[in-house]
Amino acid sequence: MLEGILFAMFAGVAIGCALGVVFHRNPVHCALLLVGVLLSLAGVFILLHAAFVAALQVIVYAGAIMVLFLFVVMLLNVKGETPLLTPGAAKGFGFLFGLIVATELLWTVLSPGGSEGGPFPAAALPAEFGSPAGLGMLLYTTWLYPFEIVSLLLLVAVVGAVVLAKRKFF
């Protein structure tokens, strides 16, 4: 019962804030509403017993990445643009395409095969499910090479960001 109430609360906040991100005029408000989405998704992750990923979500996403966004908003000093949405036919096609994607996704989720999983299995999860120890055990054994590649990717991204921010290109 409590789980259902919490899920409804987090889901409602997430969807409301997501709509705000897309349709709000001021980019600073958009960024803060995105923080709302990320935090409520962290709550949903905790409902799914993914405690460590929820902590990562708060620290990495709502902390680091959103600070980066707010810095750039401050740096660029962008005002809310006067036509909020892209003008002309592109807007119509955008909403049409969104409708198509929504139909497709809902069709997939709600089709008989999609909901076959039913309620989550009541069988007890492994003790370390969702803990840093469990994630680390997988990450440093089975997924060691992808992990190293991702660290290389982050290094390249940092160097690239510095180079891009220094020079004049366009």
Partner 1 sequence: MGTMPMVPLVWYQLLAAILFTIGVVGVLVRRSALVIFMSIELMLNAVNLSLIAFSRQHGGMEGHVFVFFVMAVAAAEVAIGLAILVAIFRNRETASVDDVHLLKG
Residues 25-54 that bind partner 1 (CB under 8 A): 27, 30-31, 34, 37-38, 41, 44-45, 47-50, 52-53
Q: Does 119 bind partner 1 (CB under 8 A)?
A: yes
Instruction: Find the binder of partner 1 among 106, 113, 145, 148 (CB under 8 A).
Output: 106
Q: Does 67 bind partner 1 (CB under 8 A)?
A: no
For 24-50, where are the alpha helices, taking DSSP H only?
27-47
Give dist(CA 45, CA 6) in Å, integer.
11
Structure tokens that stand for 101 in this block: 């994607």
Chain positions 6 to 25 lying near partner 1, rule: CB under 8 A, are 7, 11, 14-15, 18-19, 21-22
User: Within 13 Å and on the Cβ side, how many CA atoms surround 150?
Assistant: 7
Q: Does 154 bind partner 1 (CB under 8 A)?
A: yes
- Output the smallest distance, CB 94 to partner 1, in A: 3
Q: Does 89 bind partner 1 (CB under 8 A)?
A: no
Tell the residue number behind the tokens 């095969």, with chain if given: 113
Q: Does 153 bind partner 1 (CB under 8 A)?
A: yes
Please give the torsion angle defined by the CA atoms of residues 123, 126, 127 and 132, in that order, rounded to the nearest 10 degrees. -140
